[in-house]
Amino acid sequence: MTAAGYRVPALIATKRDGGELDEEALGWLVSGYLAGLEGDAVDAAVSEGQMAAFLMAGVVRGFTAAEALALTHVLVDSGEQLDLSGLDGPTVDKHSTGGVGDGTTLLAAPLLAAAGVRLVKLSGRGLGHTGGTLDKLESIPGLRVDLTPDELLRVAAEVGCVVAAQTDRLVPADRALYALRDVTATVESTALIASSVMSKKLASGAGTIVLDVKAGSGAFMPDADAARVLAGLCVRIGVGAGRRCVALVTAMDQPLGTGVGNALEVAECVRLLSAPPAGRLAEVALEIAAAGLSHARGDVDLDGARDELVRRWAAGEALEVLRRMVAAQGGDAEVCERPGEVLPRAPVRRDVTAAAGGWVASVPARAVGELAAALGAGRTRKQDRVDPAVGLQLHVAVGDPVDPGTRVVTVHARDEDAADRAAAAFVDLLAVSDAEIPPPATLLDVVT
Shortest approach of ligand URA to residue 124 CB, angstroms?
A: 7
Q: Is 200 a catalytic residue?
A: yes
Residue (57 or 198) nearer to ligand URA, CB: 198
| Span near ligand URA by CB under 6 A; candidates 186-194, 229-237, 238-246, 299-307 | 186-194
Q: What crossing angle do the helices spanning 317-328 and 149-159 adopt, rounded to 10°?
A: 150
Q: Which residues of 168-201 are buried (b: 16+ CB within 10 A; e: fewer)?
A: eebbbbbbbbbebbeebebeebbbbbbbbbbbbb
Residue (180 or 431) nearer to ligand URA, CB: 180
| Span near ligand URA by CB under 6 A; candidates 187-195, 311-319, 323-331, 425-433 | 187-195
Nearest residue to ligand URA, scored by beta-carbon proximity: 196
Which is catalytic among the residues 123, 196, 199, 294?
Answer: 196
Shortest approach of ligand URA to residue 187 CB, angstroms?
A: 6
Which is catalytic among the residues 174, 212, 253, 387?
Answer: 174
With CA atoms as reference, report the closest residue to 217 among 369, 90, 438. 369
Q: For residue 199, give the amino acid letter.
A: S
Residue (193 or 343) nearer to ligand URA, CB: 193
Shortest approach of ligand URA to residue 321 CB, angstroms?
A: 26
Site residues (CB under 6 A) for ligand URA, limited to 160-179: 178
| Span near ligand URA by CB under 6 A; candidates 188-196, 249-257, 273-281, 393-401 | 188-196
Which is catalytic among the residues 121, 200, 201, 244?
Answer: 200
Question: What's the rounded Cα separation, in Å, for the pair 163 and 336?
Answer: 16
Residue (187 or 437) nearer to ligand URA, CB: 187
Residue (98 or 391) nearer to ligand URA, CB: 98
Largest Cα span, the chain: 73
State the sign of the Cα–Cα–Cα–Cα dihedral 327, 331, 334, 335. negative
| Span near ligand URA by CB under 6 A; candidates 56-64, 71-79, 193-201, 230-238 | 193-201
| Span between the terminal Cα atoms of the chain, in Å | 43
The answer to whether 237 contacts ligand URA (rule: CB under 6 A) is no
Cα dist from 95 to 2, 172, 263, 295, 366, whole Å: 39, 18, 21, 15, 19
> Given candidates 193, 211, 273, 392, which one binds ligand URA under the rule CB under 6 A?
193
Q: Is 433 a catalytic residue?
A: no
Residue 17, number of CB atoms within 10 A of its CB: 9
With CA atoms as reference, report the closest residue to 408 among 428, 389, 378, 388. 428
Which is catalytic among the residues 15, 94, 95, 214?
Answer: 95
Question: What's the rounded Cα separation, in Å, for the pair 360 and 9?
Answer: 53
State the sign of the Cα–Cα–Cα–Cα dihedral 72, 77, 81, 83. positive
Shortest approach of ligand URA to residue 173 CB, angstroms?
A: 12
Which is catalytic among the residues 15, 118, 136, 181?
Answer: 181
Sheet holding 259-260, edge to edge: 259-260, 391-394, 407-413, 348-353
> Given candidates 187, 348, 361, 437, which one binds ligand URA under the rule CB under 6 A?
187
Residue (70 or 423) nearer to ligand URA, CB: 70
Question: What's the rounded Cα separation, in Å, for the pair 189 and 197?
Answer: 12
> Given candidates 50, 72, 97, 105, which one binds ligand URA under the rule CB under 6 A?
97
Q: Is 47 a catalytic residue?
A: no
Q: How many residues of this chain interact with ligand URA, rule: CB under 6 A?
A: 8
Q: What are phi and psi of 205, to 5 degrees?
A: 90, 0
Whether the Cβ atoms of residue 42 and residue 2 lie closer than 8 Å to each other: no
The answer to whether 196 contacts ligand URA (rule: CB under 6 A) is yes
Residue (97 or 262) nearer to ligand URA, CB: 97
Residue (288 or 290) nearer to ligand URA, CB: 288
Residue (234 or 392) nearer to ligand URA, CB: 234
Q: Is 204 a catalytic residue?
A: no
Q: Is 129 a catalytic residue?
A: no
Pairing mode of beta strands 244-251, 443-447: antiparallel
The answer to whether 197 contacts ligand URA (rule: CB under 6 A) is yes
With CA atoms as reference, report the closest residue to 343 among 387, 394, 392, 388. 388
Question: What's the rounded Cα separation, in Å, for the pair 103 and 66?
Answer: 33
Shortest approach of ligand URA to residue 367 CB, angstroms?
A: 20
> Given candidates 56, 192, 248, 284, which one binds ligand URA under the rule CB under 6 A?
192
Among all residues, which ones are annotated catalytic?
Answer: 95, 174, 181, 196, 200
Q: List residues binding ligand URA (CB under 6 A).
A: 97-98, 178, 187, 192-193, 196-197
